[in-house]
Structure 1
């Protein structure tokens, strides 16, 4: 299957052959359709290793093999990296989690350390639906009408979140109604600085001590939408 692949990969690193460049091959048109692009970050679990590993896809030969970088924990797991070992791969692509089973074909050490995996025969997918939520604890400033309160986002989905506000002497709970507009200012994982998110209140749970409101996002920026999808994926246990 991989006859001559050492020569091919060496040629790629020396001369930049188009056989290994993601920009030069439309992987959706040739061979088996696969939603996997060069440079995409993947997570995989390997037989005999009790924790997930992180890597990046750097090349492929359609219907034959995938090439990924050596994971950062290489020194701890190199004794497990033997040809034929079972591997389960997961990755996020445009809001959908894809997964497949594969096996390690071979490792090369020069010019760089790379893993060659069998090309997947079956790919499963898991849609991060709008109702899929992940627990969170993001400090947030909440502005409703002319009143500002400090609280926290306690869970989040691609389309909305729940926000928790405590009653205190310094900040009394604001009066709220369904469909009131709201502005949340918070720091999302992976984004520098605070970002404003606009929304509309869709659910209210209130007591003397606290207020929990369900918020539907309005006009969410693409960057934040993608980061929320990645966050949900990261906290889910797909293994």
Structure 2
């Protein structure tokens, strides 16, 4: 009988970040929000994402909608849990919260660190609010890039925003999400998770004389 891993839910921390994927008949939407708590065998409670994270959220977050919840377990050495369930209810008082049916099974994944290759590719970062920021792709992997925004081009937190990375040398662009944004002396360094497939990334690297074989994992 397969392991349910339900005990792992108790390792989630209150206010810890979770990834909420909302499944629709034609598409899916992903948004970051926070874990609030749980009542064992009854429901999981998540914070309702603000409108900046998910515009028109009421169109997607409704009773009965199927969602996938993913979260990193603190102190687990890089384990991610994931489960799929329906939204039980959306509460608006005293705070806006999402109640999700308690899962019957939780999947467990180990995070695998991706090797990154240093680069200096001039590029633009187009944000979901149509702002365009100039910068450099400082390193690249099969799943993302480190984008360095030059100077003082933005004055607010851009973490969790959807974005498009546009290469200056060509019309090539990649959709993605800003997973981290850290200020440094010369600007802001952003870690961006790209939506492109590994094959697309390998093709892009070869076009820019980057050897993708350097990213192949070592089998122990």
TM-score by length of 1: 0.44
Tell which structure's C-alpha radius of gyration is larger: 1
Which has a greater percent of helix? 1
Which has a greater percent of strand? 2
